[in-house]
Structure 1
Amino acid sequence: MDFSIDQLNAVEKEMQSELQKIFKTANISCSSEATESALMKLNKNPLVKFVNSLLHLVEKNVELCKSAAGTIDQLKTEKIADQKLLIEIQKGQINSVQETVKSEMKSWADVVKKNTSQAHRIGKPLTEKSIKQAVRTVNEEKRRSKNLMIYGFKEADREDVYEIKKKMKDIIESTGVIPAPRIYEASRIGTKEQGKNRPIKIELESASKVDSILMQARNLKDFTDYEHVYLGPDRTKEDQLEHKKLVAEMKKMISRDPSKHYFIRQRKICTADKTTAMGVV
C-alpha cells in the first residue's frame, strides 16, 4: 500500500466514526466511559460487528504505518544523498575560489611588479611610497575594469536609476550580448548642462563582461536609436588624454590610408582588413 497523508486521514476518520457508533449504542459519550460494565450491556451481534470493523481498520492502519516507515527511509536516503552532493558542490566552489584568488593575486602581483619596474627603469627609487602608489593604481584599474561608459545617449529632464538601468540593458542587448549581464550601478557623470548629454557609467559583475560588450559595440550603428551612441571603458583622466592622442593619430592614419580598418585596443592603434575587422574603436 502506498502511503499518503490523505489515506491516513481517511483511516482516522473511519475509526472515529466506528467509535462514535459504539459510544452511541453503549449510551456513553467518550472513551473514558467505555468501561467493561458499559460494554457488557451491548448485544452480541452489534458488538461483533463493531469489533470486526475496528480490526479491519487496525490492519489498514498497520499497513499505512509500514508504508510511511518505508517512505521516511527513502526520504532519509535521498536527504543524505542530497547532503553529500551539496558537500561536493561546496568543495568544488571552494576550490574554484581558491584558484581564482591565486590567479587574481598573481595578476595583482604582476601589475605591481610592472609599475615598480617602470619606476626603477626611469631612475626613481623603489620606496614605500612608490609601492603604495602602485597598489593604489592596481586597485583603481581593477575597480574601473568592471565599469562601462555610454556616451551620446539622450538625457531626459528627469531620470531615475531604474529607468537608466532598463535603457542601458536595451543598449547592451542591441550589441548582440544576450542576455545582458546584471547592472549593479548606473548613473550620469558630470554636471548637467543645457543641450548636452552627460555620459552614463554602469558597473557590471566583471571585467570580462565589459570586454565582451566592447568587442561587439560596433553593432550599435545598425540601430537608428543608437547610431550616435558609443561605448568605452572607464578611463582615468590620464588615460583619457592618452586615448585622445591615439584617436588623433588614428584619424591621420585613416586619412593616409582609408582602405584599412583602424581601432584602438590595449592602448595601441591596430589595423585590420575592413571585411574581417571585429574590433572596437
Structure 2
Amino acid sequence: MEFSVSALHELESKVENLSDTISAKLRCGKLQDLTSDLFKHKSVTKELLTTIVLQMGTLICDSKMVLRSACEKIDEQKSDLIQTKNELIKCKSVKLEAVKETVQSEMKSFSDVVKSKSVSSGLSPAKIKMAVHSAMRDEDRAKNFIIFGAEEELECEEEEMSDKDLVKDIFGIVKGGDERSIIKCERVGVKKSTDAKRPIKVTVKDAETVRDVLSKAKILKSFQSPGYNFEFCNLFLSPDRSLEERISRQNLVKEMKDMIKKDPNKKYYIRNNRVCVAEKPTA
C-alpha cells in the first residue's frame, strides 16, 4: 500500500474498526480502558484472541507499508525542494551577473555605485541606465573642485599666467595635493562682460586630492599676493556640486544670512547640510 491521502483515510478506518471490535469483544467502553482483568472473562476464548492478533498483524503490516512509502515520498519532496532552491539561487545569480555586466559597461567602477545595495528585478533598463549615469556624474564630480573669484586675465609679475598656473600656485600655497595630479582646468560658462569672473573647474586624478586641497583652502585667506593682479584671499574654493546641491547650498546660505541679521553676536557656519551656531569668543 503506497502513501497517499486516500491510503491514510483507509488505514484510519481500519484502525477505528479494529478498535471498536476489540472494545466490544472484551466488553470495555473504549480501547483506552482495556485492562488485564478483562481477558479473564469466560467469553474471551483462544479463538477470539487469535482472531484479534491476526487482524492486528495485518493492520501493522499495512501501517508499515504506508509509513515507509510516506518517508520515501517526503525524502523525495525534500530533494526536489532543495534542487528547486538551488536552481532559483543559480537563476538569481545569473540575472544579477547580467545586470552587473550591463552596469559595468556604462561606468568605470560598478562596486562604487551599487555598494551595500541590491538590484531589484522590477527596475527597467531605462531606470538602471539613469542610475548608472547619475552615479558616474557623482563619481566624476568628486574629482573636481571649483575656484570662484579668479580674474579672467591672470598675471604674475606683469606676465600672463594660465588657469593651470593659478591652480599650481594654489597647490603650493596650501601644500595640499600633488600638482602632477592636475588633469584639466577650464572656465565654466560663457563670458558675458569684461568684468565677469567665470569660475574655474579643476579636474584631478582622485577625490582624495580634492578633499586635501579643500580642507586647507582657508590658508589662502591670509596669504599675501605681491606680484599678482589679484588677491588670493578673494578666491573661494568649493566642491563641484550638482544642481540640486547648489540650490540646497544657496538656501542654507540665505538661512545663515537671515540668522546673522537677527543675532550678529554669534558665529554661524554651514556643516553637514545645516546651519550651525557658536558663541563668538569674548575679548
Q: Which has the larger radius of gyration?
A: 2
Q: Where is the helix percentage greater, Structure 1 or Structure 2?
A: 1
Return the TM-score normalized by structure 2.
Answer: 0.49
